[in-house]
Structure 1
Amino acid sequence: MAKLPVISGREAGKAFAKLNFVYDHHRGSHMIYYHPSGRHLSIPDHNELDRGTLRKLI
């Protein structure tokens, strides 16, 4: 398995938006996205996401 790149939370949000996730709101340091199928994501708004966090989001 290839290593995941180190990206920011905002970059991750843009990538999930391309997968039909819609930005809902910001709560503290997390951005909340939802998918029309009902799935929700809470993406930390950090300069660098830990690779483990990114893996769990995927």
Structure 2
Amino acid sequence: MARTNYSYEKRQKELAKKKKKEEKKQRKIAKQEDTTEQKDDLSSSEDGSDNSLSQSI
């Protein structure tokens, strides 16, 4: 009767965890970039709004 290769299973589990952790890291980085871009867009639009108000007065 063959024995179960636990070291192979353990290695596969470790690789799966590593892959999942890397994907999570990439999502987190992408989310931070999106929020940074949105803040920049908001800052630009707010600056533009202030200029348009002063021009209309």
TM bucket, shorter chain: under 0.3
Relative to its length, the structure with more strand (as a share) is 1
- Could you tell me the TM-score, scaled by structure 2's length? 0.19
- Could you tell me the TM-score, scaled by structure 1's length? 0.19
Relative to its length, the structure with more helix (as a share) is 2
Which structure: larger Rg? 2
Comparing both chains, which one has the higher relative contact order based on Cα–Cα distances under 8 Å and sequence gaps of 6 or more?
Answer: 1
